[in-house]
Structure 1
Amino acid sequence: MPSYYDIDAILTDSQKVPCTFEITVPGLGYLDGNPGEPIKEGTKVELPLWLGEMLAVTQNNTNTPTLSLDLPQCLSARVVNALKADPRVVDIRALAPHFYALGSRMLELFDEEELLDVLTDTFKRRAKEIADQAHHPRGVLGEGAEFLRGLDESERQLFRSAHESSKAVRNWMVDLKK
């Protein structure tokens, strides 16, 4: 469980996800661009994950959830198919800066076994490329530059750690030779 003060968790929870209102709610029309009006049943809006989740678990007097959450576009079938084909060519950062964190949060809310498998496989396959790039830098304009620009925040942290450890091992080897 992330810390309350974890900026990455805050940024993940602020990412917008598609939601569909299951009931008509008076006074929430401003969410749909109609201030002063009720938001009608069946209205689709994008809300921050934290708000959508809270409204999805909140039940009204009819024991119906206020809204239902849908998977965000960055986890759509089209993206999942692209990740299955070759996850190294997908610009994950363009999809969501905190892609894996958002995927993890959505898996807490949805029972999507295939999505879990795809995200796990994607991370494993991309981690190999990240480690290779960290240990054998090819320069800012090298062949791996496009891949590195598409890393999400957790992958960037992995790259930094792998790069720093590689540098530390090289320095240690130089010190041993002295």
Structure 2
Amino acid sequence: MSYYDIDSILTDAQKLPCTFELEVPGLGILEGNAGEDIKAGTRIDLPLWLGEMLSIGARLGTSRLVTLDMPEALSERVMNALKADPRTLDLRALAPHFYNLSERILELFEEEEMVDVLGDAFKKRAADIADHAHNSRGAVGGGVDFLRGLDETERQLFRVAHDRAKDMRIWTGEAKRK
């Protein structure tokens, strides 16, 4: 992760459900109540970077301020859908940077099964992405809906595969250079 990587910055801004373990005086602004206190047990969606920082006490052995909860984009319902057929999910609707978010969440939670599900889903979706990228008619015709459901990592993969396929057609003389 680079300091200047816009995808990392946008991933860190993704909202994550957090439950406050302690009462925090005067921090009610986080839930829209300026000057109020946040009560213990209050659940608030916070940016990933902030939730991670507030939960750091658990890793240091002290009492933590918040407990991080699994985001909706990685819920059990989504994992079951990915197991069934990952190609049918609109990952962009779940989280524009779905795989980057997954990577960050898996650094915080120990979910071995989730690692396997996400790896298998990426492999299956990557095969479809390669098919669409190499088929010039598929990318133009029915590809708009397909491209709309890809997260940013998959869109970058599509661009690279599409450009390499185009370069190969030019090299073999099947297409003209513009």
| Letter aligned with residue 39 of structure 1 | I
Does structure 1 conserve the Cα–Cα contact (< 8 Å) formed by 2:134 and 2:162?
Answer: yes
Structural mapping, 1:65-144, within 5 Å:
65-139=64-138, 142-144=141-143
Task: Find runs of 4+ consecutive structure 1 residues off by over 6 angstroms.
Answer: none
The answer to whether structure 1 residue 49 and structure 2 residue 66 are counterparts is no
- Residue identity matched to 1:114: E
Q: What residue identity is the alignment partner of 1:49?
A: L
What's 2:150 paired with?
Answer: 151
Q: Distance in 2 between matches of 1:106 and 1:18?
A: 12
Q: Within 5 Å, which residues of 2 pair with 1:19-58?
A: 19-58=18-57
- 2: CA distance, partners of 1:125 / 1:137: 20
Instruction: Please give the TM-score of this superposition, normalised by the length of structure 1.
Output: 0.92
Match of 2:2 in 1: 3
Deviation string 1:35-76 (CA, Å, 9 cap, x unpaired) is: 1111011000000000000000046xx921010101100001
Describe the superposition over 1:19-41 as per-residue Cα deviations: whole angstroms up to 9, x where unpaired.
00010011111112221111011
Q: Is the 8 A contact 2:132 2:138 kept in 1?
A: no
Shift of residue 114 of structure 1? Answer: 1.1
Return the alpha-carbon distance in structure 2 between the equivalents of residues 129 and 138 of structure 1: 14
**Distance in structure 2 (CA, Å) of the matches to 1:47 and 1:26:** 17
5+ residue gaps, structure 1, are: none
| Change in 2 beyond 3 A, CA 1:141/1:160 | closer
**Aligned-residue RMSD, C-alpha:** 1.6
| Partner SS for 1:36 | coil
TM-score, scaled relative to structure 2: 0.92
Does the Cα contact within 8 Å between 1:89 and 1:147 map onto a contact in 2? no
Q: Distance in 2 between matches of 1:101 and 1:140?
A: 25
Equivalent pair of 1:88/1:147 in contact (CA under 8 Å): no
Q: Is the 8 A contact 2:24 2:39 kept in 1?
A: yes
User: Secondary structure at 2:116's aligned position in 1?
Assistant: helix
Consecutive unaligned residues in structure 2, runs of 5 or more: none
Letter paired with 1:41: A
Query: Counterpart of 1:154 in 2: which secondary structure?
Result: helix
